[in-house]
Structure 1
């Protein structure tokens, strides 16, 4: 019998999930997704449970995302049913968390990327420490921000969601609180005391526990750039946004460079996805992402992007087409028109 990477514990009225795959920075594989879903479903229907706590056994990460290397291998094997099954199960878990009928508290004390945000941001309480770094880096691997990101990114402060989704920029703890990815901040050396206090809760005194143990977040660099982010990323296509990056300051240069190295097709798709997601429900966003993922994982850019970042790690992908200027906006529009006509299975 294989060891589970999901540990579950019950402390009186509080149930806890411990992500315990430290060698892979808690990257979610299919069994972890299924185990989390099963535990959460069981506790949802248990009147004795009044809150769920999610923690990590890794000192480096909360969760580094989904096990995208296995998805790539399934795509290479042309096992598209396996690809669909992985994403369908993951998105089902995201929806369960978003609609959970009791407090769902994620303690983020390290990296949280991609799928790691899917099992935290959709919850009601997201506590970050100064060690936290949150990101949706999918455009670097020829994919797009999924796990319901098309729902939560356009609902972040100003245009920060579009900026984070396109660039894959890392949000610090302070940035996460400013943008709305996180709800509370606590110093890392006090996180254990907060976790113990939550485990010891009786009834519904979570607000009092959080008020006692959390504090104001440090200054946010993202907040300092908010005006420029809104100007650049607040409207238009990806080519419009890049055209607005004309300054010589460090942020502008770094952002412009990032957008010229990421997968061009992914940038176009992400900009349109986030734009559309602003007017959709979470369930509609997840359905759209599921159908879109089936298309994108069949493309060479996805295979190449995962190879360059996660397999060979040379960080030198060869994109096709190589530039955002080589992509037809009408083709992107046609893609979304086609997939929105297809029901998610």
Structure 2
């Protein structure tokens, strides 16, 4: 997404704070102490708001026929995923998985604009600054939810009709079926805010064709509509107006197998010819991406882009020059390692990375530049790729011992 799409909701769900509430090196000065106190008060307000009674539930969990239906119901903030929602969705998924009266699970977003545009980053930011356990609990439980979806024993169908980013990707991409529409907007733009593409990005991105996943991860490039399926992120494409009929047919099925669900989705896809004549948006750049992004380091990729001289390469070099150098290096190594790991092992790795990002500076600076001051002029630290040492990157991947994520 463009980094101006959201204010209170955002597509980055990737930051942790270590137990023990150690303050980041960026927050040691005395002004930072008062900043921390302000964060504590802001966090208390956010938590109080989360605990207050809502007119509408933030997530609807319904049984329709023999289908479990999850509806993320925060349309005003593009169905941003918060801690309350995670804590409702996870136990319900486990319950339905064991329930003989439930054959399939469908997950969707309310409001017509978004499936889920990501995690509620405001609460996470304040929790991180205040050293509050909310951030730690949020990501630990979010990643456990992502893993549960990846290992789900019953057909899991995500109707990604609208904006699908960050945490929303984690709720959909690991499931057996992902149905995109012409309204789907997919992106993992975390490097622009001092983070990395988490929620299992280290698993699914390197498994895309060629260097496409690395390209998407570093640049935050946005895929729309049918291109989300063409890239391999969605399993099917169905026109948005047909989604209600598709959903009705799915919930009306009697004891469907995964093959039965697949046949229904295939039939609706065949009825959807919208944009089918258009080539994949990156079609003419696929070989360029594979060539330019095949370097053995982020510095090498930048050198390739600058030496290439094409308009496409110049544009990508310009985009990468604005991203957090530390984030890009973490992301490069994350995808390299993730290509050979299982989803659970990737999530353990990403939990370590998220903790490291929370201890650093770039996440807070990225949020300031994009969401708070909105000057879109972050001052990254370190400010250049060359200043980011291999040792500092390696440290981000270090075991957390007893604080590591476990399933």
Whether the TM-score (by the shorter chain) exceeds 0.5 is yes
Structure 1 residues 122-271: aligned runs within 5 Å: 122-204=174-256, 205-215=260-270, 217=276, 218-245=278-305, 246-271=307-332
CA-CA distance at 1:42 after TM superposition: 1.2
Give the 3-state SS of the residue equivalent to 2:94 in structure 1. Answer: helix
Alpha-carbon distance in structure 1 between the residues aligned to 2:396 and 2:352? 11
Q: Partner of 1:326 in structure 2?
A: 387
Give the 3-state SS of the residue equivalent to 2:282 in structure 1. Answer: helix
Q: Which runs of 5+ in 1 are unaligned?
A: none
Give the 3-state SS of the residue equivalent to 2:308 in structure 1. Answer: coil
Give CA deviations for 1:263-308 in whole Å, capped at 9, x if unaligned. Answer: 1110011001110111111111111111221111121111010122
Q: Partner of 2:53 in structure 1?
A: 2
Alpha-carbon distance in structure 1 between the residues aligned to 2:242 and 2:399? 47
Alpha-carbon distance in structure 2 between the residues aligned to 1:77 and 1:280? 33
* Cα distance change, pair 330–300 in 1 and its aligned pair in 2 (3 A): closer
* Cα distance change, pair 88–19 in 1 and its aligned pair in 2 (3 A): same
Give CA deviations for 1:33-68 in whole Å, capped at 9, x if unaligned. Answer: 111112111111101111111111122111011112
Q: TM-score w.r.t. structure 2 length? A: 0.81
Aligned partner (choices 343, 356, 374) of residue 295 of structure 1: 356
Check whether the contact 2:117–2:166 (CA below 8 A) recurs between aligned residues. Answer: yes
The structure number with the bigger radius of gyration is 2
Q: TM-score w.r.t. structure 1 length? A: 0.95
Alpha-carbon distance in structure 2 between the residues aligned to 1:234 and 1:91? 29
Give CA deviations for 1:79-103 in whole Å, capped at 9, x if unaligned. Answer: 2x32221100100000000000011
Check whether the contact 1:142–1:301 (CA below 8 A) recurs between aligned residues. Answer: yes
Alpha-carbon distance in structure 2 between the residues aligned to 1:334 and 1:300? 15
Counterpart check, 1:92 vs 2:149? no
Q: Partner of 1:71 in structure 2?
A: 124
Counterpart check, 1:29 vs 2:82? yes
Aligned length: 343
Give CA deviations for 1:6-43 in whole Å, capped at 9, x if unaligned. Answer: 10222211111011101111110000111111211111
Q: Partner of 1:344 in structure 2?
A: 404
Counterpart check, 1:12 vs 2:70? no
Moved more, 172-181 or 183-192: 172-181
Alpha-carbon distance in structure 2 between the residues aligned to 1:187 and 1:56? 16
CA-CA distance at 1:247 after TM superposition: 3.3
* Cα distance change, pair 277–343 in 1 and its aligned pair in 2 (3 A): farther
Alpha-carbon distance in structure 2 between the residues aligned to 1:201 and 1:219? 34
* Cα distance change, pair 111–69 in 1 and its aligned pair in 2 (3 A): same
Report the RMSD for the aligned CA atoms in angstroms: 1.7
Moved more, 85-94 or 201-210: 201-210
Q: Which runs of 5+ in 2 are unaligned?
A: 1-51
Alpha-carbon distance in structure 2 between the residues aligned to 1:332 and 1:42? 40
